[in-house]
Chains A and B, each alone.
Chain A
Amino acid sequence: MEMSPFIVFMASIFTNNMILANFLGMCSFIAVSKEKSAAWGLGQAVTFVLTGTSVINYLVYHYVLVPYGLVYLRFIVFIILIAAFVQLVEMIIERYFPVLHLHLGIFLPLITVNCAVFGVSLFTVIRQYNLFQAAAFGFGSGVGWTMAIVALAGIRQKIKNAPLPKGLEGAGITLIITGIMALAFIGFSGIIHVQ
């Protein structure tokens, strides 16, 4: 597919946002969006892991799985690579950047089970991206995810003292807000076609 990595990057933020168009990575999106600072921290970590794993999974898929006819193992292999990458990143950060680890520490293990990370690796294969497109897609998806979760955290902090109906406090209102955000982002659809 001929498309400049920059276009892929922009598309993955606006028209094909992981949260607001594909609804991937919802669990941590809802759980960690109470505070803006926590949301920002998790967003950074997700962006870093997404960029790294989309490149690694791309390389493994095209230089190991395809040549040896093991494509049917891609789900397991991708998950293992993501988990390994997150572990490795956590160890490295803990050893060499203790301040950053203090900041991101709790969020890193969460990312292993973030569907957006796995989704990006699979989309990379389905849409037949090349290496640069895959990297741009991973990075852009991370930026888009961060933008969405920080904005959601902003809204949730704004309505913290609002007299919400009892049954909607917490996850309920968060899902409604997410729905309206997705409604708004439909407006961007069609500006860039990535599929």
Chain B
Amino acid sequence: MVTQIMPRNFLQRQKIMRKVLISLIPVILGGVYFFGLRLLLLLVVVTVAGIATEYLFARKRKAKVTEAVLVSSVLFTLSLPVSTPFWAAALGISFGIFFGKEVFGGFGHNVFNPAIVGRTFLLISFPGHLTAAWTRIFTTFPGGFIHYIAPPLDALTQATPLALFQTGETLPLSKVIVGNVFGSMGETSVILLLLGGIILLAGKAADWRLMLSPMLGFVGLTSVLKLAGVGGIPHPLYGLFTGGFFFLCIYFVTEPVTAPKTIPAKWLYGILIGVITVIIRYFGIFAEGASFALLIMNIFVPLLDDAVKSLQALRKKEAAA
């Protein structure tokens, strides 16, 4: 592993982050199987760029590079399409680590999720690379393990499940769950993500409330809209399992530094992420709203926590009186 190659005093070891990295192994292997070996190369480029950015700041603070930057790099890579140019991927993670984390004083102080800051920045700066350049996927063994990259999709005739939906088509749900759909590298297979989520929960590296609440918000609002007869809304489960939302619920919403600390705030935070995702996805100009939803809710985390704390203090006071 990368962590063993580096000198002892270079990397700060973080137990939880190690667990997250381990839980990501099946997702990475699945990504390679579906999309090809280029994923690994992207992973290396992004990780090097991420560590370099953090090192510049950590040296000034006389601190070590944290293991969290490895997690951010891997998650960031998996949130991109496999055909992303190397320069764009490196730029994205550097921007994310720089403006999302280091300017706030490094690990533990960041308000926004660094990987999502980087991804959102890339999405609005170079939308073509992130939303149009999809590839086909491998479906037969050994799949991508012996290929550099999956062949490109004809952008005019095929699109991601979400974009397909806007033209009125849907893929069978079974296909979506196993992962036989194209999209970003980490988001395709619900089964592998679920496996990763179980490893996270078993290792107590994530809070199940944060994982479950966005899904509740998402399925809840989609069901209500569907029952109300709003046009253009897919089956709630189909929406949940396609696109990056499921990936985001398991790995990004649960990120401990940026998530709220109090339990009621966690529920509210998650549910609102689901709700905002639905609104952006089905009514806005972006096909995928999950990363925006997370960033928007990151803004309100301090307020949510404060509101809960002052409410609890008030209740205690009343109980005492």
Contacts and interface: CB of A to CB of B under 8 A. Distances in A.
Interface of A: 36, 150-151, 154-155, 157-159, 162-165, 168, 173, 176-177, 179-181, 183-191
A185 B292 CA distance: 7
Interface string B50-71: 0000000100110000000000
Nearest to B288: A187
B280 A187 contact: yes
B87 interface: no
Contacts of A177: 111
Interface residues of B, number: 37
Contact of B105 (A163, A184, A185): A163
Interface string B260-297: 00000000000000001001100111100101110110
Contacts of A151: 299-300, 302-303
A157 B305 CA distance: 12
The prevalent SS among residues of B at the interface is: helix
B92 interface: no
Given A180-B112, A191-B284, 10 more contacts: A154-B300, A154-B303, A158-B301, A163-B105, A164-B104, A173-B103, A183-B120, A184-B292, A185-B296, A188-B279
A169 B117 CA distance: 21
A191 B279 CA distance: 8
A46 to B, nearest CB: 18
Contact of A181 (B106, B121, B124, B299): B299
A164 B111 CA distance: 12
Contacts, number: 90
A191 B112 CA distance: 24
Contact of A164 (B105, B291, B299, B302): B105
A177 B298 CA distance: 11
Nearest to B108: A162
A158 B260 CA distance: 12
A184 B298 contact: yes
B100 interface: yes
B84 to A, nearest CB: 19
Given A151-B299, A183-B121, A158 B286 contact: no
A187 B106 contact: no
5 contacts: A158-B302, A180-B117, A180-B295, A183-B124, A184-B299
A185 B303 CA distance: 17
B306 interface: yes
B109 interface: yes
A135 B296 CA distance: 27
B278 to A, nearest CB: 11
Given A163-B61, A165-B57, A187 B303 contact: no
Contacts of A180: 99-100, 112, 117, 295
A94 to B, nearest CB: 30
A159 B109 contact: yes
Nearest to B281: A187
Contact of A188 (B106, B280, B291, B301): B280
A123 B99 CA distance: 32
Nearest to A20: B299
Interface in B193-214: none
Contact of B109 (A163, A168, A181, A184): A163
